[in-house]
Structures are given as C-alpha cells and as structure tokens.
Amino acid sequence: MSIAEKVAWDDSLLPFQLDKADIRGRFVRLDGALNRILSQHAYPEPVARLVAEAVVLTALIGQTIGFKAKLSLQIRGNGPIRLIATDYFAPEDDGEAGHIRAYASFDAARVSAAEPFSQIGQGMFAVLIDQGTGQAPYQGITPLSAGSLANCAETYFAQSEQLPTRFALSIARGRSWRAAGLVLQHMPKASPLKVMAEPVDTEADAENWNRATIMLESVQQSEMIGPKVSPTELLFRLFHEDTPRVYDPQPLRFGCTCSEEKVRQSMSIYSAKDIATMTTDAGTLTADCQFCGAHYVLDPDTLGKDA
C-alpha cells in the first residue's frame, strides 16, 4: 500500500448500495479531521471517545442531507458529561468536501474511567437539520437509551424515519486518534402504483436484511480502522453475496464557521448596560469559540444595540 493510497482512504466517506438487496450504506474513516477536532481541547479519554463516536455518526448521517445543508447532533444528559454537540456542513457542490466540527461540555471533577456512555446519564439524543433555503429546521429527538450513541441513532431512525438502520463504529487511539463507521439502512420498496415490478417478497427482504446485519456485526475493529484493508475491499469482503455498488468517495475536513462578524451579531441584542457587565478589567470584551478555540478580543464601545 502506498502512502498516497492511505491518505486517500482517510478523512473520506464512501456511499454504497447492495444491488441484490434494498439496502444502502456509507462507510467513513477519520484521521486528520478527528485529531483536529480533539486537539482543540484537553478532553479526558472517556469524553474524547464519545466525541469521536458522535463525529463518526454525524458524518454517516449527514452525507444524506444534500448540498448546502447543515446537520447537527446534540447529546444532552444529567451526568458528568453534560453535552456533546456536532455540526456537519454539506458540500457546496459535487466533489467538494463536507466539513465537520464538535465540542463537549463536562464536569472534570466527576468524569471517571467508567464506561463513557454511562457518564452522560439521562437525557436526549437530538438530530437537527437546517436546509438553509427558507424551510423550517427539522428536529428529531429520542431519549438516551440502549447503552451507546450508535444504538440511540438506530432508535432515532426507527422512530422518526421508520427506517431499519444498523451502525458499527470503531474508535482507536495510538499515537493519534483514528475512527471508522459503517451504516446499513433498509430502504422501502417503491410503490407498485408508480413502478411496475414484481410483488414484494417480504420473506426475502427479511432474509437479505438479516444476512447483511450479521455480516456487519462480524466486522473487526482492525478491518474498519485500517490501514491494511481499503474501504472498498472491506465492503466486498462483508457483502459480496449482495453485490456492493460503490460510489465516489466524499472528502471530509475539519471546519468552523465562527468569525468576528458573527460574534458582533450575537452581541447586537444587548444594551450598553449589558455589554458593560461583560467587559473585562482590561476594558475589552472577549469571546471564545467552543468548537475551534478561536479567541476574539473586541472593543465594547463598538458592540450592542447602540453601537
């Protein structure tokens, strides 16, 4: 395997479908983008692992939303790990990169070496989609349950989309973080009123879905993470009976949309009195981006409603 091939595999998402079954899927590997996200903060390992899982899920789900849209995950709980927030910004056009960012809020004194998901506690798993075209944003919420973020995402699709879905995630930390994810979704049959086709064979459908999910459960972490097995090779190893059809990969990059202009816009709702309470002893107002760590220092006289 050449270095060029390894680079091509990382930080990319590969859509596919199984031609002999009504199943579509995506496979993602993250390396540089994930390390850029995690390097912004000194997260304890349980927090970093959950952030990595959320980033993989966000990439796998986000690829389906279309161009110029934004998908966010918000995982909120009453445990030591209070919040994990992610954003996926879809490409502007075909062949361009999608961008992803994430951060977590937690109580450092209470985070322990215990299983990471249990440290979120009781709360919610929310999917938010903003098409950015004047349409009302979509929001789907499911309770935190079933022992993992992947299971929460499966529950979301079952309840909100009525779409049978299975995820497999793999997170590893060596000299740096690597992560991979694979999702399968059983697609509904086309309406017989619109498409003249053979009658739906529900028994065959169930058999195909069962076979594909069994193969998904058999995948090894070393196969998913790489670098010895390419994504295409892995898909054919797992699903060769159903004839995988692989589409063009989509690159993924770390990306943040914060700016001084947006900070100023957020301050425009406050009065001069409010701005004064936010001003430091040095006579400035500061703001930090939780996603990328950017630090803004502003003149309070230029902020607020009266500026």
pLDDT at 104: 97
For 126, the token pair is: 């929310």
Q: Could you read off the pLDDT of 8-55 as tens digits, one per residue?
A: 568 999 999 999 898 999 999 999 999 999 998 999 999 999 999 999
Task: Decide: helix, strand or coil at residue 47.
Answer: helix
Distance separating alpha carbons of residues 273 and 219, to the nearest angstrom: 59
- Rounded alpha-carbon distances, angstroms, from residue 138 to 73, 82, 258: 12, 23, 22
Average per-residue pLDDT for the chain: 88
Nearest Cα neighbor of 170 from 265, 80, 57, 304 is 57
For 236, the token pair is: 């054919």
What is the value of pTM for the model shown? 0.88
CATH numbers and ranges of domains, the chain: 9-186+234-242+249-254 (3.55.30.10), 260-302 (no CATH)
Q: Could you read off the pLDDT of 219-263 as tens digits, one per residue?
A: 998 899 977 889 999 999 999 999 999 999 999 999 988 888 888
Q: Could you read off the pLDDT of 55-101 as tens digits, one per residue?
A: 999 999 998 888 789 999 999 999 999 999 999 999 988 888 999 99
What is the pLDDT confidence band of residue 192, given thresholds at 50, 70 and 90?
Answer: very low
Distance separating alpha carbons of residues 32 and 290, to the nearest angstrom: 19
Q: Is the pLDDT of residue 6 over 60?
A: no
pLDDT at 110: 97
Question: Token match 């031609």: residue?
Answer: 19
> Are the C-beta atoms of 29 and 226 separated by less than 8 Å?
yes
Q: Could you read off the pLDDT of 263-284 as tens digits, one per residue?
A: 888 888 888 888 888 898 888 8
Q: Is the pLDDT of residue 198 over 60?
A: no
Distance separating alpha carbons of residues 180 and 178, to the nearest angstrom: 7
pLDDT at 268: 85
- Rounded alpha-carbon distances, angstroms, from residue 302 to 177, 261, 280, 285: 42, 12, 15, 10
